[in-house]
Structure 1
Amino acid sequence: MSSPDVNPLHRVINPIPKGSPQGVAVPQSQKPGYTPIYRSARFPDRLLKTWHPEVTTPHDVVNNAINLNRHKPCFGRRSFDAKSGKWGPYVYESYDDLDVQRQQLGSGFTHILNSHGLPTMQANIGVFAETRAEWLLTDITCWAYSMVLVSLYDALGADTSEYILNLTESPILVASMHNIPSILRLGKSKIPHLKAIVVMEDIYSEDDLVKSKGVYDPKTLSKPALLKDWVNSSGFELYTFKQVMDLGAKKLVPMVPPKPEQLMTINFTSGTTGVPKGAMLTHENILAAVAGTFIMDNVSNEPIYHLSYLPLAHIYERLSSLNALSYGGAIGFFHGNIAELLDDIVALRPTTFPSVPRLLRRFEAAVRASTTDSPGFAGKVTRKAYEAKLARYREDGSITHPFWDRLWTNKVKAKLGFDRCKVIISGSAPISPDTLDYLRLALGITVREGFGMTETAAVACVAEPYDRDPGILGGPCPNLEVRLRDVPELNYYSSDKPFARGELMMRGYNVISGYYKEPKKTAEAFDEDGFFASGDIASIDNLGRIHIIDRVKNFYKLAQGEYVAPEFIESSLLSKCPLLQQIYIHGDSDKHFLVAVIGIEPVAFSRHISDILIKKNKISSPIDPNDLNKLKEICKIRDVRISLLRTLDSISTQLKLQPYERIRNAILTVDPFNAENDTLTPSLKLKRREAANLFKPEIDQLYVEGPLLSAEKAKI
């Protein structure tokens, strides 16, 4: 299966011409209460599940990549130099190394399971760690031996880990060192099915090895002995990652290639309410998702370099990594600190960059601060460059410029490590049009928005390169078909004009069959024709392009009887107002107006509010966006809050929001929602219930204070 025609580079399809349909209706497919079924205009007569008949599982993808690229770079890591205090360059292992390591690790897992008399076929293997090479190697190993990987989110607490381990009855847990104590505190009585814990790190330090003359002897090594005693006293076995591979290397076990219909992973949705649901994804589901992503690719025959930094526990990053492997690309893993991600980008120089709006806004702020917002002659020149590029962009849609790219854009790209990047994909949430345009022009790189869910293996639709307007998500990917279902309670109908609106329903090779051990929730998630109900309200325009506009379930009924969909308002404001980084809108059935908790974008907000306060002689110099304590104090000023509320009210007018849909009072702060306070999921989605509980005192006070816009008299 190493013939050239299996090479994924041969599956690239050119973009659909501008102005042509991207999604097309299937003839005679409309039913009452629904739109017609829409498919990709590229494959209107069928759904795609592979690009070659011999490639039927992700295991086949990896085998093909190994056969074609044995001596090419595969997994890359950076080492920390204690003397210099810096991280070194990426050092790569080859595809040949990957082949050896997956067989050793899989054989080691097999021996551990056999020692407990447990079956290996479809055995559940838990992984509880941050994004790192060992995570992805464990995933690839499970594919090769027909085992099932169970993802535990690194950012979630012990209760969720206990729930997942018990639900899946996982006998082996592969974990990073910092997650092991939370598992051990649960003890054998709470997670009785767990037999062995595999720690990813080498727990034997250089000092320990010197003391023991290089012999791994727990009796003479303090840290391993303590950890092993703790693990054993908790009723589990302890192995290091290396020990499991050494165990397997002594007696290799043949790989057990999976069948397409077999379960590949139980990927727990990072739900915003309640306990997470285990989405059951088969090998066929994941392969179809990879096949569907080829419309996102903008590759050439040049080497592919992918930076793995998003959570591998989330299917978005797993799919992105598998896509890179399918091209024989190299994957460099970030060194673990998301705050220092730019350093990893410069070291790796990725060729594609899947990301999320929150991080892209940070990149925008960093570029602005060092170029167009900088003082003096350099700032003046870069502002002129941006204005010239923006004028050309508005005229013909071009993100390049023959003069200013050489003088400005190419230098910015090289400085940030994006000099060989062809495309940036933004997923998981709406993104501000200002951010989209700024990154496109400053970097000269195509930025495309996409949409997918865990239940669709991260893939549903993606905008074409020429679609520049925010919110356009393109037609359906070739691996699935979609339709909209009427939602009468929210006044969304398939008969709406100018475009149909309703709940987005999806069916295809990449869509899950259901939730693990949750027959009731599975039944609720699908309609009678097998379409999965996304919970998202969408519209489909005249070109068959999908736009996500609202959510089905999250809405408030206000005291006056009006229904409000907060997520629609939040996403609309975030996409239109660059001053915002986060927002939670709150309503109550015994209150007649909306309030909000707003996380400001430090760079944009400090610049905006400094201009206003200086003109009013309230401050003498601009606010430093890095002085977060100062910013938080500024955010408390009543007139500052009113100023932002007015800005949002003006945007609400542009959005044609009703008076009851507008924010009348708000608290402003910096980074109110994060994983540490349990208000964000690992995929950076807002947990509404947790946010409401955390900020309940502040929200209560906002209602006591009353609506600022209608009551205030002072002018800033």
Structure 2
Amino acid sequence: MLADFHSVNVNNFAVKVEARANGEQIVRCDSPLGAYAERLTDRLEYWAEVAPDRVFVAQRNAEGKWDEITYSQALSRVRAIAAWLLKCDLDVERPIICLSGNSNEHLLLMLAAMYIGVPYSPISTAYSLVSTDYGKLRHVFDVLTPGLVFVDNLGPYRDAIDAVVPEDLPIVAVSSAHGDDDLSNPVTKFSELLSTAPSVEAETAKAQVNGDTIAKFMFTSGSTGMPKAVINTQRMICANQEMIRSIMAFLKDEPPMMLDWLPWNHTFGGNHNIGIALYNGGSLYIDHGKPTEKAFDITLNNLRDIAPTVYFNVPKGYELLVKKLREFPDVAKTFFSNLKLTHFAAAGLSQHIWDALDALAIEHTGKKVPMITGLGATETAPSALFASIEECASGVIGTPLPGVEMKLVPNGDKLEARIRAVTVTPGYWRAPEQTAKAYDEEGFYCLGDAVKYIDPEQPNRGFRFDGRVSEDFKLDTGTWVSVGMLRAHIIHFFAPYVQDVVIAGHDKDYVSAMVFADIGHCRSLVPNSENLSDKEILQAPHLRETFQRLLEQMAETSTGSSTRVRRMRLLAEPPSIDLNEVTDKGSINQRAVLKNRADLVQDLYSDTPSEEVFGLGR
């Protein structure tokens, strides 16, 4: 099979399995973890000396040109910012909060804070720009009690600042256009930080930073409640980067060229991707596009300039990428010209998207570009498992990385996965009870995920994701429903018309589903849909006929009551971030949706359901 792929230096390590008498198993990588940097900023200093003129980070300016910062420039600016930060009475009890998204300035500030051992916390822009009650933002400020707030432009964030930020709290802004009128907070322009002279005091502070120093507070997505502040130490981040490049060995052979949009308040973008660029002396071009129909043209324009060697995205991003690369073969030619590896995370990648990406790679290069994925969490910095090229498929998560132990604990008919490694967080900031619940008696972090062997007789082939343990439930017959697996099956079967699914049926006699439709694709099923609202699209007869037909076809493939969906309804109201139904990265909170829409669930199980409900005969 590998003959179909372009050759790339990716390792695939064997595992050792220790079976215990109580049914538990310990799975370890058969290769030790190599030496790693003590501080992430050590790598900035290293590359500033080894490759001072290489581009480290870049973003487009107002004129559409790339503002590139070399490694030597980055180190000089980091030292200047660090000297300014030392004057601000900042420490672990008064960290830095960043409200805005990815930018050159954001990255320099982050590294400057790390340089002198001041914790920094990147906050989802949705908490300020999408939320209307600012509940999660208030929670963040209550937990962290910050000493400084950073924002790129005060204007868009002014409402959130007025509502949440204490009046005496200092703010650093790159721009204050239309945002500093009557603002009571003291505001410093970012340019002033850059003009500060480097200081001996900053170098003294840097010398005190070690592996145990808190580098970041990374907030969880809040998919099961208010976000928790995950402590990320220097050791966690650096060790995880060594784990990653032990697998992606090509990163050592050639500095990676990256174009990336993934938000830095999430561990995928903020630890995994920034870390890969910096740790390996690569160049990170910031993509201000997003995986939406409106914003993806920004990404497409950036791909005209930047030919990545490794590319990271979420499944929705790959879906739009495939669509655009088909329309613009010149961009596809550039995209595949130096590409060694692609990687997806955050959700399962539909097979038809995967196949289309392979077809495009073959069209433009003659072979497929390898794709891998894995398993990780904010609490594991993030990577814990990676799949091999040979085994990689949607749902496959691979084997533990060097230095990672995975405990498999029988939980009903599943195996619950727990992780122990130097990359696991010491806990949640100012949340001792939540921290205590996160670990078992041997110090393994409880992921809450279930896994299963691809082949129990061949453990080196790795594992598949087997759903979230906490989401599964029993029907009134006692039959377990694996929510994660069923949800993935529905999304795959109804592709591309379904964006997400919420499964109902706890203590009921059959399974039902509530569907958040992909409106863009659903419009393609409705004639003359241009002038119709989203709600009218979902009520269109032809659309409902299509969903009814697919539901009946899926029922024919079901293996029993746990996989047979008898009733379904399409949800016209999108998930609410304020009601905790969805995280800012789009993950659905099953329990919150079921609770907030209890009337709709009741309708699904009514003897005389509304016309919105369709399904199978009883």
Q: When the two structures are superposed, what TM-score results if normalisation uses the length of structure 1?
A: 0.74
User: Is 1:38 the counterpart of 2:27 in the alignment?
Assistant: yes
Shift of 1:124: 1.5
What is the rounded CA distance, in whole Å, between the counterparts of 2:102 and 2:555 in structure 1? 39
User: Is 1:282 the counterpart of 2:233 in the alignment?
Assistant: yes
> CA distance change for structure 1 residues 127 and 546 in 2, over 3 Å: closer, same or farther?
same
Matched to 2:346, the amino acid is S
Shift of 1:695: 5.0
> CA distance change for structure 1 residues 244 and 342 in 2, over 3 Å: closer, same or farther?
same
Instruction: Specify the alignment match of 2:418 in structure 1.
Output: 505
Does the Cα contact within 8 Å between 1:40 and 1:478 map onto a contact in 2?
yes
> CA distance change for structure 1 residues 450 and 562 in 2, over 3 Å: closer, same or farther?
same
Matched to 1:25, the amino acid is V
Instruction: Specify the alignment match of 1:341 in structure 2.
Output: 299
Matched to 1:661, the amino acid is T
Instruction: Specify the alignment match of 1:140 in structure 2.
Output: 111
Shift of 1:312: 0.1
Q: CA RMSD in A?
A: 3.1
Choose the corresponding residue for 1:107, options 80, 83, 87. 83
Structure 1 unaligned spans of 5+: 1-11, 82-87, 114-118, 205-222, 372-409, 493-501, 611-618
User: Is 1:256 the counterpart of 2:206 in the alignment?
Assistant: yes
Matched to 2:159, the amino acid is P
User: Is 1:435 the counterpart of 2:353 in the alignment?
Assistant: yes
Query: Which segment drifts farther, 440-449 or 320-329?
Result: 440-449
Instruction: Specify the alignment match of 2:50 in structure 1.
Output: 68
Instruction: Specify the alignment match of 1:327 in structure 2.
Output: 280
Q: Deviations over 1:566-587 (max 9, x none)?
A: 2221123334543244222232
Choose the corresponding residue for 1:423, options 335, 341, 348. 341
Matched to 2:11, the amino acid is P
What SS does the aligned partner of 1:195 have? coil
User: Is 1:15 the counterpart of 2:11 in the alignment?
Assistant: yes
Choose the corresponding residue for 1:269, options 207, 220, 234. 220
Instruction: Specify the alignment match of 1:181 in structure 2.
Output: 159
User: Is 1:666 the counterpart of 2:618 in the alignment?
Assistant: no
Shift of 1:508: 0.6
Shift of 1:487: 0.8
What is the rounded CA distance, in whole Å, between the counterparts of 1:130 and 1:528 in structure 2? 38
What is the rounded CA distance, in whole Å, between the counterparts of 1:671 and 1:453 in structure 2? 29
Shift of 1:514: 1.2
What SS does the aligned partner of 2:396 have? coil
What SS does the aligned partner of 2:446 have? strand
Choose the corresponding residue for 1:549, options 462, 466, 469. 466
User: Is 1:197 the counterpart of 2:102 in the alignment?
Assistant: no
Larger of the two Rg values belongs to structure = 1
What is the rounded CA distance, in whole Å, between the counterparts of 1:237 and 1:32 in structure 2? 60
What is the rounded CA distance, in whole Å, between the counterparts of 1:187 and 1:438 in structure 2? 47
Shift of 1:132: 1.7
Instruction: Specify the alignment match of 2:4 in structure 1.
Output: none
Count of matched residue positions in the alignment of Structure 1 and Structure 2: 581
> CA distance change for structure 1 residues 671 and 508 in 2, over 3 Å: closer, same or farther?
farther
Shift of 1:107: 1.1
> CA distance change for structure 1 residues 590 and 266 in 2, over 3 Å: closer, same or farther?
same
1:675-694 equivalences under 5 Å are 679-692=581-594
Matched to 1:67, the amino acid is E
Shift of 1:524: 1.2
> CA distance change for structure 1 residues 575 and 24 in 2, over 3 Å: closer, same or farther?
farther
Choose the corresponding residue for 2:399, options 468, 472, 475. 475
What SS does the aligned partner of 1:686 have? coil
Instruction: Specify the alignment match of 1:414 in structure 2.
Output: 333
Choose the corresponding residue for 1:705, options 586, 590, 610. 610
What is the rounded CA distance, in whole Å, between the counterparts of 2:78 and 2:165 in structure 1? 30
What is the rounded CA distance, in whole Å, between the counterparts of 2:84 and 2:390 in structure 1? 49
Structure 2 unaligned spans of 5+: 1-7, 362-367
Does the Cα contact within 8 Å between 2:342 and 2:370 map onto a contact in 1?
yes
Shift of 1:364: 2.8
Instruction: Specify the alignment match of 2:375 in structure 1.
Output: 451
> CA distance change for structure 1 residues 73 and 672 in 2, over 3 Å: closer, same or farther?
same
Shift of 1:287: 0.8
Matched to 2:43, the amino acid is V
Instruction: Specify the alignment match of 1:393 in structure 2.
Output: none
Matched to 2:52, the amino acid is R
Shift of 1:669: 6.5
Q: Deviations over 1:432-487 (max 9, x none)?
A: 12222221221232221222100111101122122243222221111311121111
> CA distance change for structure 1 residues 278 and 631 in 2, over 3 Å: closer, same or farther?
closer
Query: Which segment drifts farther, 137-146 or 679-688?
Result: 679-688
State, as a whole percentage, how many aligned pairs show the same letter: 19
Does the Cα contact within 8 Å between 1:24 and 1:39 map onto a contact in 2?
yes
Q: When the two structures are superposed, what TM-score results if normalisation uses the length of structure 2?
A: 0.85
What SS does the aligned partner of 1:517 have? coil
> CA distance change for structure 1 residues 69 and 275 in 2, over 3 Å: closer, same or farther?
same
Does the Cα contact within 8 Å between 1:358 and 1:581 map onto a contact in 2?
no
Shift of 1:687: 2.3
User: Is 1:640 the counterpart of 2:516 in the alignment?
Assistant: no
